Amino acid sequence: MELIILPDAATASRSAADHLAALLIKKPTAVLGLATGSTPVALYRELIKKQRTEGLDFSGCSSFNLDEYVGLGPDHPASYRRFMQENLFAEINLPLSRVHIPDGLAKDLPAHCDAYEKSIRDAGGIDLQILGIGSDGHIGFNEPTSSLGSRTRLKTLTERTRADNARFFPNPEDVPHHVITMGIGTILEARSISLLAFGASKAAAIAAMVEGPITAMVPASILQTHPAVKVFLDDAAATEPSKIDYYRNVFAQKPSWQQW
């Protein structure tokens, strides 16, 4: 796990965008795992800018989103399909025929989740998975106590997560109780992972993820076992790990041949 600590969220987002762009240049048919929420918005803006100014090409890509609220259709203002359309897909040349987002209105949820897993396998697996992290250490919507080998499935949100997401809804009581989410086992099968975290509210979760024990109580801690994880942080999110000076030095002294 490599920690990339930069002064602010904008700089860290640009660095994450450079990493993703390097993958697309190397592999134009890359399969991207995408996330929603406020954390990746700056990353998506940087990718849009790279297409407009540098010709970054998404036309050969496919994408799979981590999750969706159960009961919300694609046109609902708080649906993740709507979020992705407004914040990324409408501005880049990724073919919508190769965009995959869980269907919050699926009538047979277990069958839909199984089909989603099959679609990822049929696409050849995810090359780069973008993640955020919850203040309690969840990734995707894999809440604390989630199985570390879990697959795409229905999950019940904790009240803490519902409260964290209430800002996206007119009223707190409107936040759904259930979601479809990629499982932790699904996430771990991505060939590489970029996790972004910004702000002091994420500092404790980052410390637990990086230096704490691997435990289902901090689902992100399982990323310690993955061979290719980059963690993009601003200074505020990097205040609690005990070896922070070492992490900064590792990145500062990184050999040029290891860049991306």
Question: Catalytic site residue 122?
Answer: no
Closest alpha carbon to 38 in 226, 210, 201, 230: 201
Q: How far apart are CA 250 and CA 3, in angstroms?
A: 9
Q: Read off the tokens for 2.
A: 């490599």
Strand partners of residue 25: none
Dist. CA 184–CA 189, nearest whole Å = 9
Residues 6+ apart with CB under 8 A from 76: 69, 82
Single out the catalytic residue among 67, 103, 164, 234.
Answer: 67
Judge whether 245 counts as a catalytic residue: no
Contacts of 15 (CB under 8 A, 6+ apart): 4, 6, 232
Which tokens in the block code for residue 207? 């410390």
Q: Residue 237: name the closest of 2, 3, 15 by CA.
A: 3
Give the end-to-end CA distance of the chain in Å, rounded to a whole number: 13
From the candidates 46, 136, 164, 234, give the one annotated as an active-site residue. 136
Q: Is the dihedral of CA 99, 105, 107, 108 positive or negative?
A: positive
**Tokens describing residue 44:** 């998506």
Q: What is the DSSP secondary structure assignment for residue 246, as one 8-state letter? A: H
Could you say which of 19, 103, 138, 234 is catalytic? Answer: 138
Residue 234 appears among annotated catalytic residues: no
Asked if 135 and 164 count as a contact pair (C-beta separation under 8 A), the reply is: yes
Quick one: tokens of 22?
A: 């390097």
CB atoms within 10 A of CB 119: 13
Catalytic site residue 19? no
* Annotated catalytic residue, options 68, 103, 127, 143: 143
Question: Residues with catalytic annotation?
Answer: 67, 136, 138, 143
